[in-house]
Amino acid sequence: MSTPARPEQPVLDLSQDAVAVTAQLVDVPSVSREEKTLADAVEHALRALPHLTVDRDGDAVVARTDLGRAERVVLAGHLDTVPIADNVPSRRADGLLHGCGTTDMKSGVAVQLRVAATLPEPNRDLTLVFYDAEEIAAEFNGLGRLVERHPDWLAGDFAVLLEPTNAEVHGGCQGTLRVRVTTTGKRAHSARSWLGDNAIHKAAPILARLAAYAPRRAEIDGLVYPEGLNAVLIEGGHAGNVIPDSCAVTVNYRFAPDRSEAQALDHVREVFDGFDVELTDSAPGALPGLAHPAAAAFVGVVGTEPKAKEAWTDVARFSALGIPAVNYGPGDPALAHTREEYVAEAAVLECEERLRRWLSA
């Protein structure tokens, strides 16, 4: 019996422009935890470039120049996508490239690869990070794994995460935490409700405090980070004829990066004073770091006013290593994860041109 032929390993042609490279990347499916084929192709393409040193950990690939420059900058992007929604292979029409990951964030990865291939002698040493499993639980995040296992691979003076930002610089990021605010009562038959104590009713003050909450707007380095405190889930009840004896409101706090995780939790506990508050998830924010010379030069090349990142991103992992970082990439973040996901071809080419100018001026 003959052995079935193995699928041919895709080969990336980095001599094509960033739009074409994006299409190549989109046409290699890489849903989270299934990035190996694409990681193999990226590694193969980078090892063919003699000016780079290439390392790999799992499905994360890191390439570096070693030219002895005064500064080292890190360009980072994730290889994985959310599950495909009948939007692979890619399709080009009317100046747009359609397909899963075009915006989030294979167009950004394509820009990284083009910079790697076409700038053998940049004015700053480069570290290019391509990592896995960003779109799922933090425990699987490939950049987080590199931080733990190989922090020396990530060393640098400044980092750019090529997440979609509509080709604008988004400095730092918000922190985020989730808590469960719980109430307890006493079960009883709903026909004799006076014999019980309704835990769901006792959650009303929690919701009232949230409704009355006035979120802070923190200005940091000229960027304004709006905070938010919101109920995102309510759990309670046992059956249609039972007075519930427990209720939990899950609350998400998006906080400005001038607060630490501990300070953010203290604030939430203060808001819900008198209730049982349990922390279930937390991640720190990242300060914008725009005062660094490399960051200032980058903002100058981009030519638009930077904005605060109104979300959590992996720039926080660089910030934890003491590396100031910004988000900058082609694509509209509102299109990320949608069936109709696309990126404007002009935006991809513009991002490549700006990075090239910054790294060769």
Question: Out of 125, 134, 227, 345, which one is annotated catalytic?
Answer: 134
Rounded CA-CA distance 301/303 in Å is 5
Which of 112, 102, 61, 108 is closest to 81 using CA atoms? 102
Neighbours of 287 (CB within 10 A): 22
Contacts of 321 (CB under 8 A, 6+ apart): 147, 151, 154, 155
- Backbone phi, then psi, for 57, in 5-degree steps? -135, 110
DSSP code at position 84: P
Active site residue 134: yes
Rounded CA-CA distance 237/187 in Å is 10
| CB 181, CB 251: distance < 8 Å | yes
Active site residue 352: no
Widest CA span of the chain, in angstroms?
80
Report the amino acid identity of residue 35: E
Question: Out of 35, 43, 59, 80, which one is annotated catalytic?
Answer: 80
Over its C-alpha atoms, the chain yields an Rg (Å, rounded) of: 24
Q: Between the CA of residue 2 and those of 6, 7, 60, 61, what are the distances in Å?
A: 12, 15, 34, 35
Helix axes 107-118, 36-47, angle to 10 degrees: 20
Contacts of 157 (CB under 8 A, 6+ apart): 71, 72, 73, 292, 294, 323
Report the amino acid identity of residue 152: D
Residues 58-93, buried b or exposed e (16+ Cβ, 10 A)?
A: bbbbbbbbeeeeeebbbbbbbbbbbeeeebbebeee
Q: Which residues are known catalytic residues? A: 80, 134
